[in-house]
Amino acid sequence: MSILIDKNTRLVVSGITGREGSFHTAQMMEYGTNVVAGVTPGKGGQVFEADGQEVPVFDTIAEAVDETGANTSMIIVPARFAVDAIYEAADAGVDLIVCLTEYIPVMDMIGARAYLDAKGIRLLGPNCPGLLTPGQSKVGFIPGSIAMPGPVGVVSKSGTLTYEVIDALTRLGIGQTTCVGIGGDPINGTDFIDVLKLFEADPDTKHIVMIGEIGGNLEEQAAAFIKEHVSKPVTSFIAGRTAPPGRRMGHAGAIIEGKSGTAEGKIAALRDAGIPVADNPDDIARIVAERMGM
Q: What's the pLDDT at 1?
A: 78
Q: What's the pLDDT at 159?
A: 79
Question: How far apart (Å, rounded) are the C-alpha atoms in residues 279 and 283?
Answer: 7
Note the pTM of the prediction, 2 decimals: 0.93
Sheet holding 72-75, edge to edge: 47-50, 53-58, 35-39, 11-14, 72-75, 96-99, 122-124
Q: What's the pLDDT at 294?
A: 85
Q: Which regions of the chain are under pLDDT 70?
A: 240-260
Element at 134 (helix H, strand E): none
Question: How far apart (Å, rounded) are the C-alpha atoms in residues 2 and 134?
Answer: 9
207 among known catalytic residues: no
DSSP states of 4-31: S--TT--EEEETTTSHHHHHHHHHHHHH
Q: What's the pLDDT at 210?
A: 98
Element at 239 (helix H, strand E): strand 234-239
Write out pLDDT tens, residues 106-123.
999 999 999 999 999 999
Q: What's the pLDDT at 256?
A: 46
Q: What's the pLDDT at 44?
A: 98
Distances (CA, A) of 64 to 7, 12, 61, 68, 269: 19, 7, 5, 6, 45
Distances (CA, A) of 118 to 91, 111, 112, 188: 12, 11, 10, 15
Domains recognised in the chain with CATH numbers? 11-124 (3.40.50.720), 142-291 (3.40.50.261)
Burial of 220 (0-12, 13-18, 19+ CB in 10 A): buried
